[in-house]
């Protein structure tokens, strides 16, 4: 199986590649349109800032490539947020694949960013097969995706937000499966089995 990890000047690609290597997958980290579009599975990870990341995607000619993908795609953290319509992070105009907005945590009752382990509930995606409701996953984010009919799992941090979303072949998680132990490994295995 050919797995491509989208390279777009956002961090965490190496951690994702290492997690896949533990599963016996030698993934390719690339910003080459042909490599990305011809892969059997595409992972769109990211740690960084939304508007800068979108600028890089546009400069590399990857916006239309990502939007045209028909194979299973997994967005992780910033990658999930960029699949949405827009982000409050510096007013970023995102990929507009999933019709949700990304908002900033603004409560004074919790620390921002949301960093650490938190429970995830309401699984309605094949990504969560063999994973118990209320499992803990590792989060690092200051912005969140609103909850709606594309939400496939939720988490609470001051209020509920989308821990996972899905639209057609695009799956995404706000947490980091590559940093979430056995449960995170199962997320990656389930994605590869889609």
Range of lowest pLDDT (31-40, 103-112, 163-172): 103-112
pLDDT digits (tens, 9 = 90+) for 3-18: 999 998 887 899 999 9
Looking at residue 186, the DSSP 8-state letter turns out to be: H
Give the catalytic positions in this structure.
77, 176, 178
Average pLDDT, the chain: 96
Q: Is the dihedral of CA 170, 176, 178, 180 positive or negative?
A: negative
pLDDT digits (tens, 9 = 90+) for 42-74: 999 989 999 999 999 999 999 999 999 999 999
Query: Could you tell me what percent of the chain has a pLDDT over 70?
Result: 100
Q: Is the pLDDT of residue 108 over 90?
A: no
Architecture of domain 3-193 in CATH? 3-Layer(aba) Sandwich (3.40)
First CA to last CA distance, the chain:
12
Partnered with residue 6 across adjacent β-strands are 30
């Amino acid at each position: 199986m050919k797995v491509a990890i989208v390279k777009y000047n956002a961090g965490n690609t190496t951690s994702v590649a290492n997690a896949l290597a533990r599963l016996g997958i030698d993934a390719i980290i690339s910003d080459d349109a042909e490599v990305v579009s011809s892969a059997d599975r595409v992972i769109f990870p990211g740690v960084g800032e939304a508007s800068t990341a979108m600028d890089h995607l546009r400069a590399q000619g990857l916006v239309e490539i990502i939007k045209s993908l028909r194979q299973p795609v997994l967005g992780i953290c910033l990658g999930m947020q960029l699949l949405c319509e827009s982000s409050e992070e510096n007013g970023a105009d995102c990929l507009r694949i999933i019709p949700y907005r990304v908002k900033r945590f603004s409560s004074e009752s919790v620390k921002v960013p949301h960093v650490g382990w938190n429970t995830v509930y309401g699984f309605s995606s094949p990504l969560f097969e063999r994973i118990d409701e209320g499992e803990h996953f590792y989060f690092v984010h200051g912005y969140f995706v609103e909850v709606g009919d594309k939400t496939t799992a939720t988490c609470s941090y001051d209020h509920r937000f989308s821990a996972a979303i899905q639209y057609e072949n695009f799956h995404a998680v706000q947490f980091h499966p590559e940093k979430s132990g056995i449960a995170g490994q199962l997320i990656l295995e389930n994605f590869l089995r889609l």
